[in-house]
Structure 1
Amino acid sequence: MTVLDITQHGGTAVLTMNRPKARNALDIELREAFARALPTLRDDPTIRAVVLTGAGEHFCAGGDIRTIGSGGSQGDIFEGRSRIVAMQRWFDELVDLEKPVIAAVDGVAFGAGLSLALAADFVLATPRATFCSVFARVGYVPDMAAMYLLPRAVGLARAKQLAFSAQVLGAAEAEALGLVHQVVEEGRVLDAAMALAQRFQHAPPGAIAIMKSVMNRAFESQRQDVYRQESLAQALCRESDYHKQAVRRFLAKEPAAYQWPEGR
């Protein structure tokens, strides 16, 4: 049994955290599995979208407290820093993956589990899903980029409230804040995530990659910087085979290869 199952269904890769007895908490083995998997997903042109989910009844309960131990048992203080830096490397790969990432959340998404959800471009959740920046309960600060991603998802004031209080959010509350894209009925969240991922099968991969890359950095960019990125990106897209085929279809009055269904 692997701690991170990877399957491919057409153009969709499904990553399933597979430690259900530990509520899919991130231990060293699972972190290392993410580090190995993400470069492969990045470099495989047959993968158009990624679905991230957890085995069993939960998404991810955060860091495995049994492997974290108490502050006095970790050896040299720089060892702890090195472990966080190693985690940040593969987590950046997930955040910056130039393909749509969809989190299918059931049960808890606490601590680092919340960060994994925040790394996704779309979060689908069941009504029983709960979200919590739980770090303050154990005297930690939010890690795995939560202090960067959470304010961008829900706004600075709300992010402070959630981080300072370690308040638990239900799925409906998370949807109202914009943290969750859609609440899906019990037992259907993975199917809904797969259906959403399938919508990108015929999307322009180069254009999607550039959109995600630019938007991920938009809050740190000056407007004129985005203009420059926009002009270079549009020049690239204009010469792509995808664009040329789309123009041919338009002029021939053929349906577009990529059309988003009505609704969500």
Structure 2
Amino acid sequence: MSAPVLYDVADGVARIRLNRPEASNGLDVELLRALNDAVLAAHGEPGVRVVVLSGEGPNFCAGGDVKTFASKGEELPAYLREATAWLQIATASLLRLKAPVVTAVHGFAAGGGGLGLVCASDIVVATRSARLFSGAVRVGMAPDGGSSVTLAQIVGVRKALELLLLNPTLSAEEAREIGLVNRVVEDGELADAVDELAARLAALPPLAVAATKRLVWDGVGASIEARLGEEARVVSELSGTADAREGLAAVIERRRPEFTGS
């Protein structure tokens, strides 16, 4: 089996690619461990000037792997405690990278994982056909991946609450209009656009780039890392409810869920 995350470095650009295309790069413990390993590898290489994050297959990342979650039954809270712990570490590591993170979004960026990774990135380029949404509440969960903080910092509190509670599916252009995405390109132009942007960033003075990134994130998101643990606690707690199991089942069975508040 191929690795769930692919990592390589060339010309000062580290490329991290989510590699579970058959599952729309759904996040499970194995992938999240590998993602953290890749981010730490980028941390440890002094020649890395830019990190490009992308997904293999038709989607960037569909969020948590709901089929894996549903298969855990009553063991789901324990499984999610481990999964969210790895997601916390990977998200915090992305935010703490000295190198800027450019994320390439195609297909869907969804859930605490997909949307959370987008929100933890420094610059986001999306294809015109890309779609973004949270989706956590609709399956009886709560947002994670830092998105309960980062999304509000990016789009504002009221817009963040609308996106997290009502779960509208945003087009790439709608995401650009509210500042969630920096650029929208035609579907066949994503790789070239990201490569051009990465080359421009790699040519800048790395100490100044790192200092600028740190000043901005420390200024607007001082509580992000502190909130990651609380997000994980709430998600694990909610995953043990009947509503969460019903939400996961409804997604897999492609039907409307019936929540009971238990």
TM-score interval, smaller chain: 0.7 to 0.9
Determine the structure 1 residue equivalent to 2:104.
104
Change (3 A) 1:24 1:86: closer
* Partner secondary structure for residue 17 of structure 2: strand
Letter in 1 for 2:98: E
Determine the structure 1 residue equivalent to 2:257.
none
Question: Where do 1:6-45 residues align within 5 Å?
Answer: 6-45=7-46
Give 1:68 shift: 1.7
Determine the structure 1 residue equivalent to 2:81.
81
Change (3 A) 1:21 1:78: closer
Bigger RCO (CA 8 Å, 6+ sep): 2
Letter in 2 for 1:65: V
Q: Distance in 2 between matches of 1:5 and 1:80?
A: 23
Change (3 A) 1:220 1:142: closer
Letter in 2 for 1:4: V
* Partner secondary structure for residue 74 of structure 1: helix
Bigger CA radius of gyration: 1
Determine the structure 1 residue equivalent to 2:184.
183
Is 1:201 equivalent to 2:199 in the alignment? no
Determine the structure 1 residue equivalent to 2:161.
160
Letter in 1 for 2:179: G
Q: Distance in 1 between matches of 2:148 and 2:72?
A: 22
Determine the structure 2 residue equivalent to 1:94.
94
Q: Distance in 2 between matches of 1:198 and 1:170?
A: 27
Q: Distance in 2 between matches of 1:13 and 1:74?
A: 36
* Partner secondary structure for residue 199 of structure 1: helix
> Identity of counterpart residues, as a percentage?
37
Q: Distance in 2 between matches of 1:43 and 1:85?
A: 21
Question: Where do 1:202-217 residues align within 5 Å?
Answer: 202-217=203-218
Change (3 A) 1:82 1:22: closer
Change (3 A) 1:140 1:19: same
Letter in 2 for 1:216: W
Determine the structure 1 residue equivalent to 2:54.
53
Q: Which runs of 5+ in 2 are unaligned?
A: 223-262
Contact map agreement 2:150 2:221 (CA 8 A) in 1: no
Contact map agreement 2:58 2:107 (CA 8 A) in 1: yes
Letter in 2 for 1:150: L
Is 1:128 equivalent to 2:125 in the alignment? no
Question: Where do 1:232-247 residues align within 5 Å?
Answer: none
Change (3 A) 1:190 1:120: same
CA-atom RMSD, angstroms? 1.7
Q: Distance in 2 between matches of 1:220 and 1:105?
A: 23
In the TM superposition, structure 1's runs of 4+ consecutive aligned residues that sit over 4 Å from their partners are none
Determine the structure 2 residue equivalent to 1:244.
none
Q: Distance in 2 between matches of 1:220 and 1:121?
A: 13
Give 1:92 shift: 0.4
* Partner secondary structure for residue 191 of structure 1: helix
* Partner secondary structure for residue 147 of structure 1: helix
Q: Which runs of 5+ in 1 are unaligned?
A: 222-264
Q: Distance in 2 between matches of 1:43 and 1:209?
A: 14
Letter in 2 for 1:158: K
Q: TM-score, normalised by structure 1?
A: 0.79
Change (3 A) 1:64 1:11: same
* Partner secondary structure for residue 7 of structure 1: strand
Q: Distance in 2 between matches of 1:81 and 1:45?
A: 32
Aligned residues: 220
Contact map agreement 1:12 1:194 (CA 8 A) in 2: no
Determine the structure 2 residue equivalent to 1:245.
none
Q: TM-score, normalised by structure 2?
A: 0.79
Q: Distance in 2 between matches of 1:153 and 1:48?
A: 24
